[in-house]
Each structure stands twice: as structure tokens, then as C-alpha cells.
Amino acid sequence: MRSALISAIAHLIATSVVAWGASSFAGGMPDEQAYWQELPVVLTASRLAQPLSEAPNAMTVIDRQMIKASGFRRLSELFRLVPGMYAGSQNGHSQFVSYHGTTDNFARRMQVLVDGRSVYLPPFSMVIWDDIPVLLQDVERIEVIRGPAAAAYGGNSTQGVINIITREADIMAPGQVSVAQGANNVSDLAVTFGQHSGSLDQRLSLGYRADGGYDIAVFNDSNRTRLLNWRAAYTPGGQDRFDVQAGYSASVRGDGVAGRNQSPLRDLFTNHDFQQLTWTRALESGNELRVQYHHTHSSFDDSQPNYLLDGVRLFPKVYIQTRRHDIELQHTVQWSNENRLVWGAGSRSDEVVSAALFYYKPAPRLQQYRLFAHNEWRVRDTLVFNAGAMWEDDGIGHRNVSPRASLNYHVTPHQTLRVGASAAYRNPAVIEEYGNTQPAETSPFAAYGGLSPEKMLSREIGYVGQFPGTGLTLDTRFYVDQLNHLIFLDPLRDANGNFNSASFKNMYQIQFRGWESTLKYQWRAQSRLIFNFARQRAACVADGAPTFIADPRAVAWFSGWLAQCPGMVPTNSGSLLLDHNLDAGLALSAGYYFQDEVQVLDALKPQRFMHRVDIKITRSFGKPDESGGGEVSLVMQNLFRDTHTEYSSIPQQGEPVLDRRAYLVTTITF
Amino acid sequence: MLMLWLAALAVDAAPLKVAFIADPSHPAYREYGQALRQALAGDGTITWTEQTREADLVIAAGERAAREVENSSAPVLYTMISQHTYSNLGKAARHAAIYLDQPLERQLDLLEAALPQARDIGVIYSSPTEELNRLRKLAMARGRILHARQVEQENALAGTLKALLEESTVLLVLPDEAILNAGTIRNILLETYRVQVPMVGLSASYVRAGALCAVYSTPQQIARQTVTALVQFAATGKLPLSQHSNEFEVQVNRQVARSLGLHVPDAEQLRAQMRREP
């Protein structure tokens, strides 16, 4: 199977290279053909991004220039460039990203999409970032919606949406090789090919990414990922477009702590593959019909052998497989001069198989249905009213309607005020509703089921200002987000009166308040400064009670979390990214990142105030994107050896530290 | 008053024999022919003939048709061809043209009306033309800078475009089939969109595809101008001077404008504004 795949890839590469060489210059047509030629609709409604000043939500866009300037190597790290977002890793080995703090490595409340395909794993309500088979080089831009957006992005967009948009096959990309080598075994390789002929465009990317993790000896947190991503676009005429994508990734991540019997040194193996087909038809007057199908499959394999301590089996071998099919139809229709409607329907099936997590009873396959509609009404030139809703059936037995409305008022053509309100739900994760593990484990689950979805109610006031002539833009918002029926661990008492297993229950209500700002200053085409800042507070109250409420230990446990709650968001956090292109092929960029102390949910002590400075120096030669051109960059992370520690959920073992580290990236275009 | 008198004079003369030939490859030429015949239906001063040799005047629509009659002994009115093609034609005994393309001044008028802030105009081309030099001078006279980059082979398009877009605030499309065609337009439009540089296209089709706006003349508009030239020829026996179409359409892709954060007046306002400009 593997060798067949490799030979198929080799064949594809060979044909791509040949076709590049053979492509000839068109010509010989009468001049006036240029005027009569039917052209394909390229910038279709679904491809066009809404400008910040007209979007119904606060939005941060991470573009290619920012990705390059940051020097980051992993997708998850980029979210340090979003105000209010937490990007971290658990014990060094598992990357995660969350909004409004309050999370453990299961960052449950944010939808993550890659080209419209959800990579959020419903069995655990989490995203395995390292497994997303996308090279950073292939990311066109990332739109981060700050605030619930279920009406437009579907269920589980409870706190926000990360929408990763990859480079389309049509984008010109000649062959390129990029190699990174550096401290702590940083070793990356990325190879991309692009080919364009007539109505077919394709690109192929192969990647390898590895490093030795954080600078702490006791944690086994090295990681290496291999990935493959292929995308093709077939545009047979002016109207239709077929976009096909497929990808595969295989990761090995270290886990375990030296000298800790409960968590011996070992490897976690994860695989992910997907196939996706999108058909877009351009209709009259800018209308559009789109059908998208995707299938994803992933597996998680904790290779640890059954481990015994004093005759008690601590961990069974954990092997998990998930599979998803999803189909969606979307119709965009400009039904009057002032109104544009996007509506559609979709269905998704989710399956999870794991003898370890569903020991007594397998989890059911969940079939979910959704209907959505969103209308943009341009009341006047100065007033845009967005309203929408999504109805969903989560397959567990919940039917929710998530509405959203917002009003954007252009005080002047360059100054916009926005007020908005929305509701969104997070459906219980499969493990929360159905998980059942062997009692012999250290932290077994025995889910009672019957959970209600978490409900988010969000209100915000925003301002987007451009100051033409100065190069300045400001985007700021104040919000109050209230999360009800928060699902949390519910300690269970066994026959001996001990609390050593847990279920899940709707138990808390959290209110987040804060403000976020992004200030951009651009003084040259390739030179700019981006400053992000967020200030936030969390307050919690009880919204339910543990099952064994009569037991003082359960009460202490329950109220202990309540007391900890305000510390679960970093009060202040932000970033500063400076990107300056000097002449003569020299570019300099620098990033500063900071975050106040924050208590991560399953950590034993708060993660300390962190701040660090990264710099990147790039020297390009030839024309970097043309054959024979390229560039060499030196990246230094945590240049001044400031505090940057990640959180650890393991007692007495210290914190993963990111010390100063440097690596060299060489990119050559062929 | 003068026109009436001319018309009256023409009625007395024998009807003018006009041969019409058109490139059959695109419906636009057919539409043009239909518009022409419709406008002249019932006009006693003109009769149609199939034979170019016995015609008093030949109307050739499109380059392919033009090539067929480029050595005609009868006077030829070339229509629906570009100025560039016309200048390279073998010349018939007497000839004139009504061009398909827009005068460069009008394209700059559109740029000024739609994007008053756009100072740096980018153009890609496969081989240098006289037009480019004229455009450079015209742009300079209006306080704008033309950045023109040559693409010598197709696989250099990506890099050349990227470099061009770095220094341009708008990409102006000039007809150049070698580098601007249905196959390359996807790449080019996506690249311009990525760097948020609007494209000014050549036709309604460009605007549908994703260009911000375009100015162009429809076959019907060119037909109306042809009728005027015909009537004049019938009356005086003189061909007009070669000319661009006086009438034109403007189209704006509102969704693209909005997505790029550009406040562009609507097509009617742009047209009115362009007419006002000298």
C-alpha cells in the first residue's frame, strides 16, 4: 500500500516537472479575441473575503507575510498573533490553541476548519494540530473569527472559528525546496510543486518536520511529522470548477516523564488522512452554488505496553480511530440590489472506535444534520445589517438554533461601528456523553450521559478605523460572552467511598468580559507593524452541582474549581510583529509575545508570565519566486532568553522551557 | 438641417451597394452584423450585396474578415478590430476603421474615476508596442507612473507578476493573448486578489471573472457608429477618419470592490464622470 502510494507520488512529480517544461507560449490568435473571450469566474462569492469593516464578527487575518515574518514552524504557534488567543502545549508534546483561556489540552470550544473541512475531532472536542496535513508554505491566509459564529460556520463554533485557507492549485507556484536546520534538532524539509496546463491546475506538497521539543530533559517531547498534500482544480468552462484535495500525515510525538512510573517514556503515533471534493458553479449575476464532500480518518496510538504498578494495571493500550463523512450544499444568492443570502444544508456522520475509551459499550455513530441561512442587507450605503441562524441536530438528541445578528454602521467611509449579538452551542463530546473505561486506570471515566449542550451568549461593540494617508488601521472591540451549562468533570464515589473515577456534568457558568485591539501601521508595501492586545476577565458561578453533592469532599472539589476560575484567563496578553524590507534583498522581522500568568485547567500550578522576542533575518538571492532564486533566513527564538515556560500537568517535574534557539532556513526555487 | 439635406440628396442617387463580411468565430460579430442590418432596414439609400468585388463599400468586422479584403479595390471600412491590427493591415484602396479597443485616454479616465488614489499603474506584456510608450506618456501627464514589465516566457509570468504587483496599486490589462488568456487569468486574478491590487479588465467577461471594472464598447454601440459612417459615405463618398467608438459601457464588480475595501462609484456615475473629463 505504502509503496503504491510512493510510486503514485513519484509519477505525479515526474509528470508535473515534464509538463512545466513543455508548457508553451500561446499566441497567433486575433488581437480582438482578448475582448470576446469567455473567462472563468475566478473571484467567486465564496472566495471573496468580507472586508473587516463589513464582517458581522471581529476577525483577525493572518496572511502569508505575517506567517513568513513570524519565523514560526508549526501551525498552532501562529495563533500567538491573534488578540486573546492562547497557544501552548501540554507537557511539551501536545500543541493546543484556545480562546479566552480556560482550557486544558482539550480545547473544546473553537471550530477549526481547513478549506471548509472541520479538523475538530468530535470524540474529544479537540484538534491535533501537528496532524493537520498542511505545510505553512501552503497556507494562503488564516481568518480567525473572534466570537461565536455558528450561523455561518456550523456547530461547535462556540467561542470562535479558525478558518485556514490553503493556496489554491491555480496560484502560481513553481517547484520549491525549503530546508530548516537548527538547535534542538530542528529539522524540516518542504518540497512543493505547481503545474498549470489549460483547464487543470495542481499542486503537490511533501513535508517533514521534526524537533526535540522544549528545553527540559525530563520530558519526552520530541516530535516528527511527515505529510503529503495534493490539490487540483479543474475548470472546464466559464461556469464550473472542481476542486479536489487529498492529504496524509503521520506523526510521532514523544510522551512520558523520565523516572515517573505512571507515565513512562514512550511514543504516540498519530495518522490523519482526508479526501475532499468541491464543486462550484457560478450562476447569473454573481450567484453561486457549491457542493462540498469530505472524508477524514484519523488514528491515535499510544504505544505504551500495558503497564503494571504494584500489580495494578495503570494504562491500557490506548488506540483510537475516528472517521467522518460530511456533505454540504451552499447557495449564495443576490436576491435584490441590497440583499445577499447564503443558505444551505449539510449532514455529517462521526464514528469513533476505541476499546480503551469505550470499554463496556462502544460509542454510537452520530449522524448530524444542519440547515443554515445568513443574509446581508445593505440598508443604506452606510448601514449593513447581517442576520443569520443555524439549526442543527447533533445526533445525540439535541436540536439547537444558533442565531446571530449584527449592525455595521459606517460613520464615515473609513470609520465603522459594529454592534452584534449571537448564540452558539457546543454539543457534548462523544467521550463526555458516552465514555467508559476500565476501572483499573488512574483516571477512568464512566459517563452518565444525558448532558445538555453548552450554550454561549455573546454581545459585542466593535470599531474598525482606517486612517488613509497615515498607513494606520485600528480594530477594537468590547465583549461580554456568557457560557452556560459548562460541561465539567463530575467526581464519582465508588463502593468504598473513594473518588477515583469521574463522569461529566453541566456544572458551571462563566462570564468573560474584555477588550481586544489590533493596531496596524504600514509604511511601505512590505514593511509594517502589527500590535495586538487583549485584556480579559472571567467570573464563574455554579450552574449545577456534582452528583455526590452531599459529600464534603465533592463540595470542596466543586468549589475549589470555582475559586480557581478567575485565574484561568491571562489578564493581559498580546504580540507585536515588525516586518521591514530593506532594499538589496534584505528583510528583517521581529516578534514580541507576552502573556500574563494563567492557570490552565489541568495544571497543578499556574503557567508563569511569559514574554519573549523572536527575530528573523532574511537574505534573498535572484528573484526568490523564480527559477534559480531563493532565500536564506536565520531565525532566533527567545533571543534575550526571557521567560517562556509552557504548562505541565505532571507534579514535581518542572516546566517545559523554551530557551534561546536558532535555526537556518534555506529556500530554493527551481 | 444639413443632415436632412444630405439625406434628401442621397435618396435621388442610386442606392449604395455595401458588402458585409464578418469573422464567424464569435457571436459578437454576428450580433454586430444583426445590429447593423436592423438599423439600416428600410433605408433606401443602401442595398446589401454578397460580392465584395461589385460593392461600393466593404464593411469587414473582425481581423479574419479584414485579412480577406485587405487588398480590396473597393473602399473598406474595418470595424471591430484593434488599432494595433489595423495598423498592420495591408491597405485596401481606401480605408478607415472603427476600433474595437478603447482609447488609452478613456482607460485612464476610468482609472481616475474609479481609483483616484491609484498612482502606480502596472502592465504586463509579452512584446513591446508603441501603445505602451503612449500609455507611459499619458500616465505621466496625469501624474501617474506606469510600471510595465515584460514576460518573455510563460513560466516567468509568476515571478514577473509578483514583482510588478509589489510596485503597483492597480493592474491594467492590455490585450495580449500570449500572457492574458482563459488559462492564465485564474492565476493572475488570484495573485492580484492575494496582494489586494485591483485589476482593470478589458470586457464584461473580465469583470465577471473578478476584475474590479472595465470600459468597453458593445457590438451594438460599434454598429451605431458604423451606421453614421455609412450614411456619411453614402452622402459624400468620403470615409470618415479612423476612430474609436464614441459610446462605451462601464462595468464594476461590486463584490470585488467591497472585498478589497474600495469605495468605487457605481457604473453609471463612473460613466458620467468619464464623459465630463476633457
Q: Which grid cell is A518?
A: 489590533
Q: Is A48 on the interface with B (CB under 8 A)?
A: yes
Q: What is the pLDDT of residue A651?
A: 66
Cα–Cα distance between A298 and A311 in angstroms, integer?
33
Interface test with B, best of A17, A23, A29, A32 (most B CBs within 10 A): A32
Cα–Cα distance between A211 and A658 in angstroms, integer?
12
- Poorest-pLDDT segment among A17-31, A617-631, A652-666, B41-55: A17-31
Regarding pTM above 0.80, the answer is: yes
Percent of chain A, pLDDT > 70?
A: 91
Q: Which residue has the higher pLDDT, A94 or A662?
A: A662
Q: Which residue has the higher pLDDT, A651 or B160?
A: B160
Average pLDDT value for residue range A219-248:
91
Is the per-residue pLDDT at B277 higher than 80? no
Q: What is the pLDDT of residue B43?
A: 77
Q: Is A450 on the interface with B (CB under 8 A)?
A: no
Chain A residues with CB under 8 Å of B28 CB are: 35-36
- Poorest-pLDDT segment among A197-206, A254-263, A317-326: A254-263
Is the per-residue pLDDT at A173 higher than 80? no
- Poorest-pLDDT segment among A134-143, A432-441, A445-454: A432-441
- Residues shown for chain A: 670
Q: Is A38 on the interface with B (CB under 8 A)?
A: yes
Is the per-residue pLDDT at A10 higher than 50? no
Helix boundaries (H) for chain B: 2-12, 27-40, 63-68, 83-87, 104-114, 130-141, 157-167, 185-194, 204-209, 219-236, 254-259, 267-276
Report whether A534 contacts A83 (CB < 8 A).
yes
Q: Which grid cell is A311?
A: 500489580
Chain B residues with CB under 8 Å of A55 CB are: none
Q: What is the pLDDT of residue A176?
A: 92
DSSP string covering A389-450: EEEEE-SSS-EEEEEEEEEEEEEETTEEEEEEEEEEEEPPPHHHHH-B--TTSSS-BB----
Average pLDDT value for residue range A103-110:
77
Is the per-residue pLDDT at A6 higher than 90? no
Is the per-residue pLDDT at A310 higher than 60? no
Cα–Cα distance between A421 and A151 in angstroms, integer?
12
Q: Is A360 on the interface with B (CB under 8 A)?
A: no
Strand runs labelled E in A128-222: 139-146, 160-166, 176-182, 186-197, 200-211
Q: What is the pLDDT of residue A316?
A: 62
In the numeric block, the cell 510595465 is attached to B148
A574-588 b/e (C-beta count within 10 Å ≥ 16 → b): bbbbbbbbeeeeebe
Q: Is A597 on the interface with B (CB under 8 A)?
A: no
- Poorest-pLDDT segment among A258-262, A561-565, A611-615, A645-649: A258-262
Report whether A88 contacts A600 (CB < 8 A).
yes
Q: What is the pLDDT of residue A609?
A: 94
Mean residue pLDDT of chain A comes to 87
Cα–Cα distance between A132 and A250 in angstroms, integer?
10
Q: What is the pLDDT of residue A312?
A: 53
Interface test with B, best of A24, A25, A35, A38 (most B CBs within 10 A): A35
Helix boundaries (H) for A490-531: none
Contact B82 A32 (CB under 8 A): yes
Please give, rounded to a whole number of angstroms, the shortest distance from the CA of A284 to a CA of chain B: 10
- Poorest-pLDDT segment among A222-236, A413-427, B81-95: B81-95
Tell me the residues of chain A between 496 and 525 that have a Cβ less than 8 Å away from chain B: 525
Is the per-residue pLDDT at A635 higher than 70? yes
Rg (CA), chain A: 25
Residue A32 is nearest to which of B81, B159, B161, comparing CB atoms? B81
Q: Which of A617, A610, A616 is nearest to A658 (CA)?
A: A610
Q: What is the pLDDT of residue A284?
A: 77
Q: What is the pLDDT of residue A260?
A: 76
Chain B residues with CB under 8 Å of A197 CB are: 183
Q: Where residue A442 falls among pLDDT bands split at 50, 70, 90?
A: low
pLDDT digit string (tens) for A564-620?
Answer: 889 999 999 999 999 998 878 899 999 999 999 998 887 878 889 999 999 999 999
Q: Which residue has the higher pLDDT, A64 or A196?
A: A64
Check residue A453 and report its DSSP letter: P
Q: Where residue B13 falls among pLDDT bands split at 50, 70, 90?
A: low
